[in-house]
Structure 1
Amino acid sequence: MTKRHVLLLDLVDEPESIARYEAWHAAGAVPKPVVASIRAAGIAAMQIFRSGNRLVMVMDVTAAFDPTAKAHADAADLDVVAWETLMDGFQQRLPWAAAGEKWVQAGLIFDLAAQG
Structure 2
Amino acid sequence: MKKYALTLDLKDDPTLIREYIALHENVWPEIKSSFSRSGIHDMIIYRFHTRLFMLIYTEDDFSFEKKARLDQSDPQVQKWETLMGGYQQSLQDGNPDEKWQLMEEIFNLRDSEEI
**Pairwise TM-score range, normalised by the shorter structure:** over 0.9
Q: Secondary structure at the match of 1:72?
A: helix
Q: Choose which of 47, 52, 57 in structure 2 pairs with 1:50.
A: 47
Q: Secondary structure at the match of 2:53?
A: strand
- 1:50-74 deviation line (CA, Å, top 9, x unaligned): 0000000000111131210110110
- 1:62-111 deviation line (CA, Å, top 9, x unaligned): 11312101101101100000000000000010011114111001111111
Work out the CA distance in 2 between the residues paired with 1:20 and 1:48: 15
Contact 2:90 2:96 in 1 (8 A): no
Instruction: Name stretches of at least 5 consecutive residues in structure 2 with no aligned partner.
Output: none
Taking structure 2 as the reference length, what is the TM-score of the superposition? 0.94
- 1:28-52 deviation line (CA, Å, top 9, x unaligned): x111111100011110110000000
CA RMSD of aligned residues (A): 0.9
Amino acid at match of 1:61: T
Shift in Å, 1:115: 3.1
**Identity within the alignment, %:** 37
- Higher alpha-carbon deviation: 79-88 or 66-75: 66-75
Instruction: Name stretches of at least 5 consecutive residues in structure 1 with no aligned partner.
Output: none
Work out the CA distance in 2 between the residues paired with 1:64 and 1:44: 12
- Higher alpha-carbon deviation: 87-96 or 63-72: 63-72
